[in-house]
C-alpha cells in the first residue's frame, strides 16, 4: 500500500465519529446504539415475568395491604377501620398464642432436624461406592410427589392401628403413639412428613460437597487430621454458604406451611387444635369465617416476621458464613 493510501485510511479512521458523540445515533435513557438495542431486547424477553409479577404478585400484595385496614368479607364493599384488625389480632384473638407456639415449634425443630438429616445424607451419598447414582435417585424421588400425595401416603403410614410405623414398633413390643390423632404426637408427625421430603436439600448439599477443594482435604489429612477434624475445620466452613442458603429457604417454607396441615387435619388444626399454625389461621379467617380484611392483616404480620427473621439470619451469616476469595472474606470482616 502506498504512503498516500495509508495516510487516507488513517485520516478516515481518526475522523470517524464515535457512537457516543454522533448526533445521528438515537439516544435512549443515556444508552446509544447497540447498548440500547440490547437493553430493549432484554426487557422484551423478561416482560412475561414482569407482567406476571405485577398482575399476580405485586397487585394482590398491594390489595391485601389495603384490605388489612378494612372490614371486608368479599360479599360487601370494604369498610375502612384503620388498625383495628391488627389490634384485634394481638388483643382479642383466642388462638394467637397457640398459632405462634405451633408455628415456632414446627419451624425451629423441623428446620434443625431437616438440616441435620439432609447434611448427613448428602455426606453419605458423596461417597464413591458402586451404584451411588441409584441411591441418590431413591432419596430424591419423594420430592417429585405433590405434597397432597405425600400427605395421603402419610395418613396410611401413621395410622394408629394399621400404619406401617406402629406395626414395626409392635414387633419389638413397643406400643405405637396415636400420631395425628394425639395432641402430643401430631406435631412430631408433621415433622416426620417434612423429613421425608429433604431430597431437594440433599441435592444442593451434595453439589456443595463436591465443590469443596480437594487439596484442602488432602492437606488436612497429611497433617494428621481425622475425619471429624476435617469435617469441622474444612468441610463445614467451605459448605457454610450452602447451609446458610438452605436454612433461610427452609425457615421461610416452615412459616408458610399450610397444605400438608390442611390436608392431614381436614382444615381443623386438630386434634384439640394442636396443629393450628399461623398459615392455617389465615385460611380459616379468610375462607371459612369470611373475614378477609382480618386475614390480610395476619398475612402482613407474617410477612414482617419472616422479613425480620431473614434479615437477622443475614446479619448472623455475615459473621459465621465463610465465602472463599478476597471479596467474600472482606464482606465477612465487615
Tell me: pLDDT of 52 over 60. yes
Measured distance CA(122)–CA(127) in Å, rounded: 9
pLDDT range class, residue 225, cuts 50, 70, 90: confident
* 102 dihedral zone (left: phi>0; alpha: psi -120 to 50; beta): alpha
pLDDT range class, residue 55, cuts 50, 70, 90: very high
Average pLDDT, the chain: 86
Tell me: pLDDT of 301 over 50. yes
pLDDT range class, residue 67, cuts 50, 70, 90: very high
Contacts of 255 (CB under 8 A, 6+ apart): 103, 107, 278, 279, 302, 305, 306, 309
| 3-state SS class at 71 | strand
List, in order of start, the domains of the chain with CATH numbers: 19-67 (no CATH), 84-333 (1.10.3720.10)
Q: What is the pLDDT of residue 304?
A: 96
CA atoms within 13 A on the CB side of 75: 5
Tell me: pLDDT of 25 over 80. no
Q: What is the pLDDT of residue 299?
A: 95
Tell me: pLDDT of 226 over 80. yes
Tell me: pLDDT of 219 over 50. yes
pLDDT range class, residue 223, cuts 50, 70, 90: confident
Q: What is the pLDDT of residue 9?
A: 45
pLDDT range class, residue 323, cuts 50, 70, 90: confident
- In the DSSP assignment, the letter for residue 288 is I
Q: What is the pLDDT of residue 328?
A: 47
- pTM for the full predicted model: 0.81
Write the pLDDT tens digit of every residue in 131-179. Answer: 898 999 988 988 888 888 988 898 889 888 888 899 999 999 988 899 9
Q: What is the pLDDT of residue 331?
A: 46
Of the listed ranges 11-20, 168-177, 207-216, the least confidently predicted one is: 11-20
Q: Which residue has the cell 410427589?
A: 145
Tell me: pLDDT of 34 over 90. no
Amino acid at each position: 500500500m502506498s504512503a498516500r493510501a495509508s495516510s487516507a485510511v488513517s485520516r478516515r479512521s481518526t475522523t470517524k465519529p464515535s457512537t457516543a458523540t454522533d448526533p445521528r445515533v438515537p439516544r435512549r435513557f443515556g444508552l446509544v446504539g447497540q447498548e440500547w438495542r440490547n437493553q430493549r431486547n432484554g426487557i422484551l424477553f423478561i416482560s412475561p415475568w414482569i407482567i406476571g409479577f405485577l398482575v399476580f404478585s405485586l397487585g394482590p400484595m398491594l390489595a391485601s395491604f389495603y384490605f388489612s385496614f378494612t372490614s371486608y368479607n368479599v360479599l360487601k364493599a370494604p369498610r375502612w377501620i384503620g388498625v383495628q384488625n391488627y389490634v384485634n389480632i394481638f388483643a382479642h384473638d383466642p388462638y394467637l398464642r397457640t398459632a405462634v407456639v405451633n408455628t415456632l415449634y414446627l419451624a425451629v425443630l423441623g428446620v434443625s432436624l431437616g438440616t441435620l438429616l439432609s447434611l448427613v445424607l448428602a455426606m453419605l451419598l458423596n461417597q464413591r461406592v458402586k451404584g451411588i447414582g441409584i441411591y441418590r435417585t431413591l432419596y430424591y424421588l419423594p420430592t417429585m410427589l405433590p405434597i397432597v400425595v405425600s400427605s395421603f401416603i402419610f395418613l396410611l403410614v401413621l395410622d394408629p392401628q394399621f400404619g406401617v410405623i406402629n406395626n414395626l414398633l409392635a414387633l419389638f413390643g413397643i406400643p405405637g403413639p396415636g400420631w395425628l390423632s394425639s395432641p402430643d404426637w401430631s406435631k412430631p408427625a408433621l415433622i416426620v412428613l417434612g423429613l421425608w421430603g429433604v431430597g431437594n436439600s440433599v441435592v444442593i448439599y451434595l453439589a456443595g460437597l463436591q465443590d469443596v477443594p480437594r487439596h484442602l482435604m488432602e492437606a488436612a489429612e497429611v497433617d494428621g487430621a481425622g475425619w471429624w477434624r476435617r469435617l469441622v475445620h474444612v468441610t463445614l466452613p467451605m459448605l457454610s454458604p450452602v447451609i446458610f442458603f438452605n436454612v433461610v429457604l427452609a425457615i421461610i417454607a416452615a412459616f408458610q406451611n399450610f397444605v400438608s396441615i390442611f390436608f392431614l387435619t381436614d382444615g381443623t388444626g386438630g386434634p384439640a387444635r394442636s396443629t393450628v399454625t399461623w398459615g392455617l389461621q389465615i385460611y380459616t379467617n379468610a375462607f371459612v369465617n369470611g373475614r378477609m380484611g382480618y386475614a390480610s392483616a395476619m398475612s402482613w404480620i407474617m410477612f414482617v416476621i419472616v422479613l425480620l427473621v431473614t434479615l437477622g439470619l443475614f446479619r448472623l451469616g455475615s459473621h459465621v458464613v465463610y465465602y472463599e476469595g478476597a471479596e467474600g472474606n472482606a464482606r465477612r470482616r465487615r
